Amino acid sequence: VENGKNISDNLMIAFGGAAPLHAARLCEKLGIDQCIVPRGAGVGSAIGFLKAPFGYEALASRLTRLSRFKPAEVNALLADLKASAEGFVRSGASGRIVCEITAFMRYAGQGWEIPVPLVDEPFGEDAVAKLKDLFETSYQRFFGRAIEGLDGLEIEIVTWSVKA
């Protein structure tokens, strides 16, 4: 809906917590004609909690404009976040730990960020060009279109995330 997509042809499945109590009104607001409430729907969130893999997300908000990007500083920040996330997960689980790194980025002046998945490797001298390309690709995927003519507009990273 927020991205201009018509969801009225979809079906809502309500489960977990109090979702079934609110589903009918939500369907009405969204123009959805069908709603399924499975038996035992209220315990869906508890089942999800019990079945979900053990994980942890470490975040740091550091407003970083690409024009002032310093690879060594960001590499140190991400190393700290990774150590924190992996340390927490290691305390409750064994085996191989996989990390997902995300930068929440936006054009300067925007009021929201979009998640931009990153490769789990240190930034080098080509980091700014790579981050710009990844942001523009994610922006196009997220909003369904790229905005032309914004070459002079600054891109900034608001938050860094490491999930283990």
**pTM to 2 decimal places:** 0.74
73 and 90 together in one domain? yes
| Residue 2 falls inside a structural domain | no
Least reliable range by pLDDT among 31-45, 54-68, 74-88, 99-113? 31-45
157 and 78 together in one domain? yes
Please, where are the H alpha helices in 31-147? 44-51, 71-90, 127-143
Contact partners, residue 133, CB within 8 Å, separation at least 6? none
Confidence of residue 117 (pLDDT cuts 50, 70, 90): very high
**pLDDT score at 43:** 83
**pLDDT score at 68:** 97
Structural domain count of the chain: 2
Tell me which residue range forms the domain holding 31. Answer: 11-51
**pLDDT score at 146:** 78
118 and 152 together in one domain? yes
16 and 40 together in one domain? yes
77 and 152 together in one domain? yes
28 and 45 together in one domain? yes
**pLDDT score at 93:** 83
